[in-house]
Structure 1
Amino acid sequence: MTAVNSFISSNYTWLSWTAAGMALVLFWVSGFFLFRIIHYHLSKWASKTETDLDDIIILSGKPHVITWSFLSGLFVAGKIAPLTPSIAPVLDKAILSLFLLSITFLAANIASLAIKNYGTKANLSLPLTGLTDTLVRVVIVIIGALIILANLGISITPILTALGVGSLAVALALQDTLSNLIAGFHIIAGKQFRPGDYIKIDSGQEGYIVDIGWRTTRLRELSNNIIVIPNVKIGSSIITNYYLPQKEMSVVIPVGVAYGSNLEKVEKVTIEVANSVLRSVTGGIKEFDAFVRYNSFGDSSIDLSVILRVKEFTDKFLITHEFIKQLHERYRTEGIEIPFPQRVVHTIQK
């Protein structure tokens, strides 16, 4: 009788483990196919709605649904399998912790994508940068980690105490990194510039702002090279932002004509050419009326400035290029001389 009971018990154990394994595989595979079906219909529904939030949730949840199916199967398998009383609670806590971890990363991803999506459509008080994205993710991950620790029954008080004691050593070891991090926050909070703005630093570097990170700011030059500048240097530099208060800007082009020129005619011809360029060349402000200002008697010419208006900083290169070409041709046609630099020296012979 004892042998029969032992045989039945061993077979029952083997069958229980087999059933647990099958449940795990069944949940995992079913979750995969169920997800494909649900994702297909939800995507069709989301494409018809005006808000982008549902698209963000579906896109972010895609890799997590399979994980949840696996964890569900693992939970059911744990209930079927003949686990010892000491192992079963540990498995339950581990499954719940993994589920909370997945939820945490999902929430962080949804928050990041939502801020990026709606931030580009709305004029937010803070520019959207890599630093703000990292900050949002870190805050959500920290909250999720605290919830997971509470679920595991771990007191966070000793952890916070240890962090407080160790923060001084960390601050001393990471002085440069922390300085750049704080400088990055100051740049963002001060709204000195945003990603996409064209700036010039007093040290000579200039380009489009690609991103403001937790340690550096990246610029993209017109030559398409990337300049990496520490946030501390950016924060202490004199910066010209060509996109503030607006992208539209004036372009001042210096011109010189001979002393014998008819200045009224020079002004009229120059303005005609400038207005023609503004209305025909891409980047010019068609509604703007160019004007001329004489400003000095040079060594070999009467100097004047021609003021045009362009849509943004980089448009000035093409506008200047076409203006010089057309003005040179028109001056030649009208008989207006552009003198070569020269200096007349009078000598007295005795």
Structure 2
Amino acid sequence: MYEWFEKNWFSIIVPLIVCISFIIVAFWIRFRLFEYLKFKTEQIKWIGKDILIKNLIIMVFYWILILGVYTAIELSSIKGAIYVFLSRFLISVFFISLIYPLYRITNGIINLYSDRVKKPLVKAFQNLKTALSIIFIVIGILIMLEIWKFPTTPFILFFIMGSAILFIVFKDELANLISGFEIINGEIIRKGDHIKLESGEEGTVHNVTWRHVQIKSLEEKIILIPTSKFIKFKIEIHRKPLKRAKEPFRFYTRLSIKELTGLKAKNLKELLIHIKEVPNSVIFYHTHDFIEEYHYLTPQPSNEFALWVGNALGYGSLSEKLSTIDIFEFSSIGELRRRLIDILEEYINTNPVDKNCDEGEEFHFIKSVSSIMPTPYIAHDLREFLQILKFISSNSLFFHMYEARLRLGRLVNDFSLWISENLHETELAESINSIDLYMYTIEGIREKLIFTIENYIEKEVAIE
């Protein structure tokens, strides 16, 4: 034994050292490569990156181990049938180390996305995962048969024939799966929508699965339509038919032109005198039009008088008091004017010493000349109202939400009044009327209105 070892030690020790070296390198690369890839991909937001990195590292790890064993065998004195067997075995392990991680990557990504798709598609993703598992198993078996020199032709023919039979049997299911994914994930129709088919049938969408669209007809019958056929139909989608208003809502818009009056003030007393005498259109410009002009500021300044008193005259406490005036709590310009006068008179009586502003900083009184025009947009129900609300001009939105109280002489806006009186949706009307106009820009008001009405419509659909 000693003599044999002394004679063959090189062909044993060297392969062993090489194999151990490759094992050490494999473990070192596994941990170092993981840290490196994790650092390099920190900025990538794709949800499947961790699955991809983890399995690629496992793949590289096993490839290095296989390469180490193969190199050791080549350096050893192993020959003949044992060499052939070990070579085939290593090749088999190599392909398994390739196919299995690919299967894990595919399976993991499908699981990730199946958690994010809509509920009716979950079963379809599970079926897809099962089909891919079968494909990977078949590919693995074919590769193993080829490596070990077993005849693969009968197996391939059997697989092709079986696949063809399965395709013929389940072609409708496959078509439904693709169509169902397009309908559900693309939200072409939703539960509660009112639709009309080109065949003349119409009703409410009762349910949508990846196989069927279930329609509840006007006669309370459930009609099942395969998704593959449904996707080919011409469809009128009316969503859920909502309550129609007694009178439709006509959207108006307002164009405003500024006109100088020639009046100006350089101190508080002159400001007070002019506020008492100027037309309502001047007070309107320096309050309501001022809000519209500075609508992008949040919180919005209350009125231009407060801004001038603070900036030009330096009366901080008076400016703050004028700023606290909520111009939308007044249903007439006369009431608003009276409030401004009371605050200024009280301050002047308490502080009789007045001062002039710097030259060029005088307050110039401007008159608002408005022109009201109807738009072509008319809403008969809440859904039409919501669609128009998304694209009407900010001038139209300002007219109906901000100016309405003065025009109507009531503490309400046009939208709430119409919804309450013509649709009798008092809850929604109150929600809209309670929106704080100072807390949002005009576009912010639009977004708030859209959000409020969409939620209300969805709630109504869910109840039914």
* TM-score in terms of structure 2 length: 0.38
Between the two structures, name the one with larger relative contact order (CA 8 Å, sep ≥ 6): 2
* TM-score in terms of structure 1 length: 0.48
